[in-house]
Structure 1
Amino acid sequence: MPRLPLPSRKFRVFSRSTYPEYLRIAAILRTETVGGALLLAATAAALIWANSPAAGAYFRLRDLELGYEPWDLQLSVGHWASDGLLALFFFIAGLELKREFVSGDLRRPSRAVVPVTAAVGGVAVPAIIYSVIVWNQGAEALRGWAIPTATDIAFALAVLAVINTHLPAALRTFLLTLAVVDDLIAISIIAFFYSSGLQPALLLAALVPLALFAWLAQKRITRWYLLLPLAAATWVLVHASGIHATVAGVLLGFTVPVAASRRDRRHPGSSAGGSITSGGTTGDGGGTGMAARLEHLLRPLSAGFAVPVFAFFSAGVALGGAPGLTSALADPVAVGIVAALVVGKAVGVFGATFLVTKTTRAQLDDGLKWVDVAGLSVLAGVGFTVSLLIAELSFGPGSAHDDHAKVAILTGSLTAAVLAAVVLKARNRHYRRLEAEETRDDDGDGVPDVFQRSDQDR
């Protein structure tokens, strides 16, 4: 991770962003909150079915193979969910990453330094804690070092919805930005540490449809019957090359332009027939870019279908009752994951944030205290979707360590969620006052007064 240049003058962390950015993030969080509820429901359904008298039907469905063998695409249903459906999840992550670095908070060092540093700390400390705990268990157990490094934004938001907390805009923005940077690190880990049998010729061949997709995107040619076949070809070739197929989704997302074209700015919301990005405008009436419109179109599909289906086929573990649960959690791999999620994430995120403020000219924004940062740091220990994927890549689907890792991911995430709920709920009255301030519009111009004051300060 390159070192970020720090501002020379004093700056505030966890400060409010602009009002259009506030609206964008609020829309994303609403979608992800609904997705988080579906994610929890899918997980519960999988666990109930996998531990019911009809468990055999669940595992037969998960292991049913479909596809075209000559292209190395005869995969199980569970494999299709992890490699295929999650490619859409990572495509959204790629779009979001590019938007954040091009036009979002991450383009400004004063706003990027804290979430980037916190994300790095939230990856490094859990990985170290896990590795220390399983150090004497052999190389196979050590392969799971990256399992507890990811934060699941949908799961975390579902927790916030359940406890009915009213996080102020600055904390919600930080949580989302932290998760975005977390995704970038997780993608890099998957690409570099969990790829095997690399086929350079096929990887180079994948660049051809990827380049054509990028060319069409840069030309704002959004016909679905042109883009989808090229995206599918890129995915197939990356999958065959030995690189995990979800990386194809990120690469495709990176090629999509963020800025609105001149035509979009002149005619916001217009689009040619057959386009997959029709509609969408910014809060100020200007046209949005292709990345924003694709994200608006596909995020509900990712959060509402792709991720819950993946969770349904990945989270089903036959526990064998209380003795089986106890046995699973006694595995040092499981102990390491739980400790890393609950303790490592909190220490890593909080410690890195505290270190930034004490070694630079940064300070917490007015109205926030370190207990708020602590609550959010504990909430970052809710790791699920990417953690389940890395567990399968580390140990192989259906292996003993894989099953124990899934139990540990659920246990650690739920423990972190409960602890975060206790901390954040205690501050909810204060958060309500901040939320009321963020919606107050005394001059009736449609923009809350607090954001206008923030713009003047900037």
Structure 2
Amino acid sequence: MAKAPRPLQAFFAPVRALFVGDASAGILLILVAAAAMLLANSALAHEYHQLFHGNLAFTPVAKLDTLHLWVNDGLMAIFFFVVGLEVKREWIEGQLSSAEQRRLPILAAAAGMIVPALVYFFFVQGEDPQLIQGWAIPAATDIAFAMGVLGLLGNRVPASLRLFLLTVAIVDDIGAVLIIAIAYTAGIKLAWLIAALVVVGIMLALNRMRVATVVPFLLLALVLWYFVLNSGVHATIAGVVAALTIPMRGKNDDTMLEHLEHGLAPWSAYLIVPVFGFANAGVNLSGLGLEGVFAPLPLAIAAGLFFGKQVGIVSAIFIANRIGFAPRPHGANWPEIWGVSILCGIGFTMSLFIGELAFPGYRLLIDEAKIGILLGSLCSAIAGYTILRMTTKHPGADRNPPRNI
């Protein structure tokens, strides 16, 4: 069969990329977010809201009496468990396993969280004091969404930049987890917290005893989640803590942690995160109007994601490279680094999650935060893709880029 002409191949390359490699999970998130927005602004808006926020006829856990709570406090604990597995593996045996490898991602991720927060503060100063609680919303990067956009470029982007984006996002996840644990924790119930710490101690003991099956760890992780849920610390933290107790090796020195991560990662990327996106991305714009869309909160979040992320990350890389602290990604030019830094402003999943925690009970503020997240993420995705498309000159780059989370 005759090959398609080169112009046609170039035209359809992004379409092919939708169904292969890093793009698929990110594209699924885009479609899910679009579907949620359409439903929330259609004749089915009431049904959409009732599906997630209506009280359940039965729930085995009293604190989780809506489907929305089950998604955010239950399913997302599994997402954070997978994040914890990824972080532990990368820190011990992966791309963050040496001090030299950690320098640039940690510095870039830190700057990429601090500068957006400062941009956010600049926009909300003098406004409602309640808005201060949302400072961490633009600090997060959505790894699946960002890698999905990067995947649309195929092999044009150098492998070093793909790896850089992955490692920055992993460090970013660590920072987001710490922020949630410290800044968005309700009143602590000491008895439940002590019970949770006892379970963690048992899991660490099993690790030291080199227990070679994941079953007891998973059962104890479920118990830990229940105790943390009732302790006042956000339940998803249990997922990260449980993951850090999983042994790296099992029977016959096989990679026990990696096998578990590989088994759960597709469920996280293609089921849990899309369900979370569908449950949280929908916001009814009719009640907001232009005043709500361009209110201080959505503008602060959008500016933090779009401007704060790129300024923070590019500045950190430039300074680190200039003073010899850490070299810039190998084989990447500055326009390419700029483009990838803009993609780090896609904050969909984690930003939506933090937005729900920042304004509990304030539906209008949560909806405004969602508008800012969607606006900032969309601008970052379009601008980052456009810049990389115009500046990348690596058609022969690694055709087997690092695996997505």
Q: TM-score, normalised by structure 1?
A: 0.78
- Map 1:23-422; keep pairs closer than 5 Å: 33-66=23-56, 72-164=62-154, 166-218=156-208, 219-222=210-213, 224=215, 226-258=216-248, 260-261=249-250, 263-265=251-253, 287=254, 289-320=255-286, 324=288, 326-360=290-324, 362-364=326-328, 367-396=331-360, 399-422=363-386
Q: Give the CA deviation at 1:377.
A: 0.6
Structure 1 residues 394 and 354: alpha-carbon distance in aligned structure 2, compared to 1, 3 A threshold: same
Please give the alpha-carbon distance, in whole angstroms, between the structure 2 residues aligned to 1:325 and 1:299: 39
2:163 counterpart SS class: helix
- Structure 1 counterpart of 2:15: none
Structure 1 residues 69 and 157: alpha-carbon distance in aligned structure 2, compared to 1, 3 A threshold: closer
Please give the alpha-carbon distance, in whole angstroms, between the structure 1 residues aligned to 2:218 and 2:80: 16
State which drifts further: 118-127 or 135-144. Answer: 135-144
1:197 counterpart SS class: coil
- Structure 2 counterpart of 1:435: 398
Deviations 1:196-238 (A, max 9, x none): 11112211101233333344455334253x3333211111110
Aligned residues: 381
Q: Give the CA deviation at 1:107.
A: 2.2
Asked whether the equivalents of residues 103 and 326 of structure 2 are also in contact (C-alpha less than 8 Å), the reply is: no
Q: Give the CA deviation at 1:127.
A: 0.3
Q: Give the CA deviation at 1:80.
A: 1.1
Q: Give the CA deviation at 1:35.
A: 2.2
Please give the alpha-carbon distance, in whole angstroms, between the structure 2 residues aligned to 1:58 and 1:100: 39
Deviations 1:67-103 (A, max 9, x none): 8789642331111111111111111111111112211
Asked whether the equivalents of residues 84 and 245 of structure 1 are also in contact (C-alpha less than 8 Å), the reply is: yes
Deviations 1:161-206 (A, max 9, x none): 3454632221111111100000000000000000011112211101
1:431 counterpart SS class: coil
Amino acid at match of 1:182: D
Structure 1 residues 367 and 223: alpha-carbon distance in aligned structure 2, compared to 1, 3 A threshold: closer
Asked whether the equivalents of residues 375 and 424 of structure 1 are also in contact (C-alpha less than 8 Å), the reply is: yes
Please give the alpha-carbon distance, in whole angstroms, between the structure 2 residues aligned to 1:159 and 1:366: 21
Amino acid at match of 2:295: D
Asked whether the equivalents of residues 68 and 74 of structure 1 are also in contact (C-alpha less than 8 Å), the reply is: no
- Structure 1 counterpart of 2:9: none
Structure 1 residues 109 and 408: alpha-carbon distance in aligned structure 2, compared to 1, 3 A threshold: same
Please give the alpha-carbon distance, in whole angstroms, between the structure 2 residues aligned to 1:153 and 1:363: 23
Amino acid at match of 2:280: S
Please give the alpha-carbon distance, in whole angstroms, between the structure 1 residues aligned to 2:217 and 2:55: 27
Please give the alpha-carbon distance, in whole angstroms, between the structure 2 residues aligned to 1:365 and 1:245: 36
- Structure 1 counterpart of 2:7: none
For structure 1, list consecutive stretches of 5 or more residues without a partner in the other structure. 1-29, 266-286, 440-458
Please give the alpha-carbon distance, in whole angstroms, between the structure 1 residues aligned to 2:64 and 2:357: 18
Please give the alpha-carbon distance, in whole angstroms, between the structure 1 residues aligned to 2:121 and 2:351: 16
Structure 1 residues 366 and 115: alpha-carbon distance in aligned structure 2, compared to 1, 3 A threshold: closer
2:260 counterpart SS class: helix
Asked whether the equivalents of residues 22 and 151 of structure 2 are also in contact (C-alpha less than 8 Å), the reply is: no
Please give the alpha-carbon distance, in whole angstroms, between the structure 1 residues aligned to 2:60 and 2:142: 36
Give the alignment's Cα RMSD to 1 decimal: 2.2
Please give the alpha-carbon distance, in whole angstroms, between the structure 1 residues aligned to 2:223 and 2:57: 15
Please give the alpha-carbon distance, in whole angstroms, between the structure 1 residues aligned to 2:48 and 2:362: 13
For structure 2, list consecutive stretches of 5 or more residues without a partner in the other structure. 1-19
2:96 counterpart SS class: helix
Q: TM-score, normalised by structure 2?
A: 0.88
Structure 1 residues 162 and 73: alpha-carbon distance in aligned structure 2, compared to 1, 3 A threshold: same
Q: Give the CA deviation at 1:361.
A: 5.2
Asked whether the equivalents of residues 155 and 396 of structure 2 are also in contact (C-alpha less than 8 Å), the reply is: no
Q: Give the CA deviation at 1:64.
A: 2.5
2:233 counterpart SS class: coil
1:119 counterpart SS class: helix
State which drifts further: 43-52 or 124-133. Answer: 43-52
Amino acid at match of 1:213: M
Q: Give the CA deviation at 1:44.
A: 1.4
